[in-house]
Structure 1
Amino acid sequence: MSPARELGVDSPAREQAAAVRAKEISARELLDLHMARIAVRNPLLNAIVSLDEERARAGAMAADEALAAGVEPGPLHGLPFAFKDTHAVAGWRTTYGSPLFAEHVPDADDLIVERIRAAGAVPIGKTNVPEFAAGSHTFNTVFGTTRNPHDPERSAGGSSGGAAAALAAGMVPLAEGSDMGGSLRNPASFCGVVGLRPSWGRVPAWPQPNMWETTSTGGPMARSVDDLALLLSVLAGPDPRAPHALGDPGAVFAPPVHPAPLAGLRVGLSADLDGAFAVDRSVAAVVDAAGADLTGAGAAVTGTVPDLTGADECFRTLRAWHFQATFGLQLAVQPTAFKSSLAANIRAGESLTGADIAVAYQRRTTLAQRMREYFTDHDLLVLPTSQVPPFPADQEFPSMVDGKPMDSYLDWMRSAYLITVTGCPAISVPFGSTPDGLPVGIQLVAPHGADRRLLEVAAAVEALAGSANG
């Protein structure tokens, strides 16, 4: 059997990239494999949008010609790639999931796209998003609903739901997204893949409506922690257009990730952050099982968690302020062009005062200090990624969690967004499933800046999950 036939779309991304570099398979052959999978899975899942096979084939041919000409290949050379539809790709339809931008074609790449292209990836299309990436369920009036590869009647999560679904279904080897309130972590949990919200400043962004924005960040998704590190090596690193970017070069994430020892690891674990949010019992059971398995592996697991009092108010204030500043004028001109939940979120920012914003930043400063102190005697915090398993795709959001009403599309996302305002890196790793087979991820949180260490611990947890479920 030839190497080209041995390699499949479900093979690790590192193996796919290595095979292209070694000329064991061409970028065109690799694209053919992925296009065949897309033809089978995408009509039902609706994960990849604005697919352009002709341009993708031209890109794969150019990748092969460059390799034949002796051009040094980048780390993603020849890998098919679909960009999140909130990230501008020059010359490629980019809708943000909004009818206001249904035919929008940018003339420049966002920084995250620029870096992935420079690394040699072959663009094939975009991945579906909720309107303006608002909410952790992927649906919009431009392209419709993205469905979960494990059960198409269920949500794939969001806002990077198209990315997670495409990745889990083998339509792409890697995926990128962004995360404000859980938009990389929640869909990773729902679709059974790995999603990292990096430390704030790890993955810079440009352009930005507010270059001092501190709640949203780009980040990687993959089917394994090791593959995720490969993509993070491309996304991370300073840029002069992003003054708050961390100074470590992306290359620190390029080497293969070796699992860290779990014996002696000091872990705080809670299924509900000491009562900070409601959690579905099937999700809580997976978190509890993770605690038992970590203990069995020699970790020192306790129920001690950081005090995140004020994090809810902090996140909601900063989110409403950001949404009003970004979309307020458009909403005033075209009030019916936004989904009602997003419009309400934008309007929530209209009454905010300077004092409100100041209090939010004071709270955020306090939260960061509490987390710094927490991690002086803990190595890791373990929480559920999402408070619920994948819910029916025809719902905008779950109305109840463990018998408690959820009044808005934000209420059921606290397990993710309470961590957002700490600035700490957080990764969702698949660890189990519900009784009916739906994926459940656990969220691992580490100190700000400790992203490489977090990946090493996550790789160990990933292996532990494989052993526990095997």
Structure 2
Amino acid sequence: MSAAEAGSADTAVRIAAAVRAGERSAVDVLEAHLARIDGGEAEVHAFNTVTVDAARAAAAAIDERVAAGEDPGPLAGVPIAIKDNLCTRGVATTCSSKILEGWVPPYDATVVERVWASGAVPVGKTNLDEFAMGSSTENSAFGPTRNPRDLTKVPGGSSGGSAAAVAGGFSAISLGSDTGGSIRQPAAFCGVVGVKPTYGLVSRYGLVAFASSLDQVGPFATTVADAALLLEAIAGHDPADATSIPQEAPKLVEHLDDGVAGLRVGVVTELTGEGISPDVLARVREAADALAAAGATVEEVSVPAVAYGLSAYYLIAPAEASSNLARFDGVRYGLRVDAPTTNEMMVASRTAGFGDEVKRRIMLGTYALSAGYYDAFYGQAQKVRTLICRDFDAAYERFDVLLSPTTPTTAFDLGAIADPLTMYLNDICTIPTNLAGHPAMSVPFGTGQDGLPVGVQVLAPALGEQAMFRTAAALEAAAPRTTGASK
């Protein structure tokens, strides 16, 4: 049995139920996952830090609470991996960048607090493209992550480590962040479930910011039910986040079996045409047919402005990154390279601390915001963003959810894409949702001609997670069975 197959047998729902009932110990569950990490992490490199001692202490505390007759929470004893751009008190948070190497936050991100409160057991911090900027996890200052399904392939990015941790059976669930597809794209490449929630549904407090109007924290899991359970645990209003939605989060787990009968599903024509590989398109068509067979009404729908999503995103996101990353200056925290003057010190620290892709986006964003160019670039991109929102709103007047590929292709070879523009095209199907602030998720649905996983994307209007998860559950039930074996 491969690591991936072993991991899929240990779903979060099953683990939590068994631990809460006293049928399994959290310590035994943890040790099984640590053994998988020991056996595969050297090849995969899913983690920047594995917190063995802290995890063992947490698992033992869970077992003590169960023995005392207490309920440790809905994720009791479930091993979870956390993307290394989420602050963790007492544990280094590096964003996979030399400029933050060794930096230890004095507080936990809100989602990390909620993970602890739910009874989950954090096992480590996962590798990512530096500051979440990339689509392959090859931009990490600490080396690339490999895809557990095929070690010659990338796991996607920027949350490649979190996707690989789940796909490899190193953790039952994990947390990532999604700014332009950074949860959904690696989920598709690694054959797991990945969810980008509605903007504001999950707190961003303690998430190291890339693009503040786009970033959102979300779950990875091997099943739709596990993803729903984790999202319920981390979602909800947070007064510490000014963009947090001040209302109760949608109930998900109890509606997973509601089915899709009567649901209206639109297949986005702009995301199922040129540039999408034939084998990926075939899986999307099969997914649409499966939903129709399950009782949904399935038709094609045009969302014209999504064709401009990539162009708008690569002005808005770098502009916000330029502002957010200004704080890493060698003065307050992180790397400091000494120089004769303060200005020279800042330049030297940022030159040594940031990698090429981060520098590229900072420069692009700074240019787009500069005097004389703001209206022509950043201002124009925001107008396109408004058009995308309007076109999605029009589509959701007719449909409950939308369907598209998650990625144009299956996972590509490590080192295969050196051109930044070609790399950016990997997010063409996922970016529009971030610009609109809507939820979307990737569900594994068979494989491509190369035998690697294909992800089908389910999109929904703001706070439409309930219909989205119902659709995802139906797709999961109808998906072609694959071995998921690692190579």
Deviates more, 1:326-335 or 1:310-319: 326-335
CA distance in 1: counterparts of 2:164 and 2:248, whole angstroms: 30
The corresponding residue for 2:321 is: 323
Q: Identity of counterpart residues, as a percentage?
A: 35
The corresponding residue for 1:314 is: 312
CA distance in 2: counterparts of 1:467 and 1:36, whole angstroms: 27
Matches within 5 A, 1:281-292: 281-292=278-289
- SS of aligned partner of 2:199: coil
- SS of aligned partner of 1:125: strand
The corresponding residue for 2:460 is: 446
CA distance in 1: counterparts of 2:366 and 2:125, whole angstroms: 32
- 1:27 alignment partner AA: A
The corresponding residue for 1:437 is: 451
CA distance in 1: counterparts of 2:476 and 2:164, whole angstroms: 19
Contact kept in structure 1, 2:85 and 2:207, CA below 8 Å: no
CA distance in 1: counterparts of 2:478 and 2:57, whole angstroms: 42
TM superposition score normalised by structure 2: 0.87
Cα shift at 1:310: 3.9
CA distance in 2: counterparts of 1:289 and 1:282, whole angstroms: 11
**Cα shift readout 1:142-178 (whole Å, capped 9, x = no counterpart):** 4322111111110111111111111112111111110
Of structures 1 and 2, the one with the larger relative CO (CA 8 A, separation 6+) is: 2
Cα shift at 1:270: 4.3
CA distance in 2: counterparts of 1:151 and 1:17, whole angstroms: 30
Structure 2's unaligned 5+ residue stretches are 1-5, 330-345
Point out the structure with the larger helix share. Answer: 2
The corresponding residue for 1:299 is: 296
Say if 2:391 is the partner of 1:370.
yes
**Cα shift readout 1:75-134 (whole Å, capped 9, x = no counterpart):** 112222221111111101221101112211111111111111121222221111111111
Contact kept in structure 2, 1:279 and 1:388, CA below 8 Å: yes
| Distance change >3 Å, CA 128–CA 439, structure 1 → 2 | same
Matches within 5 A, 1:406-417: 407-417=421-431
**Cα shift readout 1:314-337 (whole Å, capped 9, x = no counterpart):** 312210111111224648442243
Structure 1's unaligned 5+ residue stretches are 1-6, 400-405
The corresponding residue for 2:3 is: none
Cα shift at 1:466: 4.3
Contact kept in structure 2, 1:271 and 1:384, CA below 8 Å: no
Deviates more, 1:226-235 or 1:38-47: 38-47
The corresponding residue for 1:3 is: none
Q: CA RMSD in A?
A: 2.6
The corresponding residue for 1:381 is: 402
The corresponding residue for 1:403 is: none
The corresponding residue for 2:241 is: 242
Contact kept in structure 2, 1:159 and 1:184, CA below 8 Å: yes
Cα shift at 1:211: 11
The corresponding residue for 2:263 is: 265
The corresponding residue for 2:475 is: 461
The corresponding residue for 1:185 is: 184
Cα shift at 1:66: 2.6
Aligned residues: 455
Matches within 5 A, 1:22-101: 22-101=21-100
TM superposition score normalised by structure 1: 0.90
The corresponding residue for 1:337 is: 353
CA distance in 1: counterparts of 2:256 and 2:296, whole angstroms: 20
- 1:387 alignment partner AA: P
- 2:281 alignment partner AA: A
Say if 2:20 is the partner of 1:21.
yes
**Cα shift readout 1:40-65 (whole Å, capped 9, x = no counterpart):** 22221111231132222122112222
Contact kept in structure 2, 1:273 and 1:305, CA below 8 Å: no
CA distance in 1: counterparts of 2:278 and 2:269, whole angstroms: 9
Say if 2:164 is the partner of 1:165.
yes
Contact kept in structure 2, 1:83 and 1:126, CA below 8 Å: yes
- 1:349 alignment partner AA: G
**Cα shift readout 1:190-218 (whole Å, capped 9, x = no counterpart):** 01111011111111211467799321100
Contact kept in structure 1, 2:109 and 2:207, CA below 8 Å: no
CA distance in 2: counterparts of 1:230 and 1:176, whole angstroms: 13
| Distance change >3 Å, CA 271–CA 251, structure 1 → 2 | closer
Cα shift at 1:434: 1.2
CA distance in 2: counterparts of 1:138 and 1:23, whole angstroms: 39
CA distance in 2: counterparts of 1:306 and 1:141, whole angstroms: 34
Contact kept in structure 2, 1:211 and 1:242, CA below 8 Å: no
| Distance change >3 Å, CA 208–CA 65, structure 1 → 2 | closer
**Cα shift readout 1:206-250 (whole Å, capped 9, x = no counterpart):** 146779932110011111111111000111000111233223434
Deviates more, 1:212-221 or 1:16-25: 212-221
CA distance in 2: counterparts of 1:396 and 1:58, whole angstroms: 42
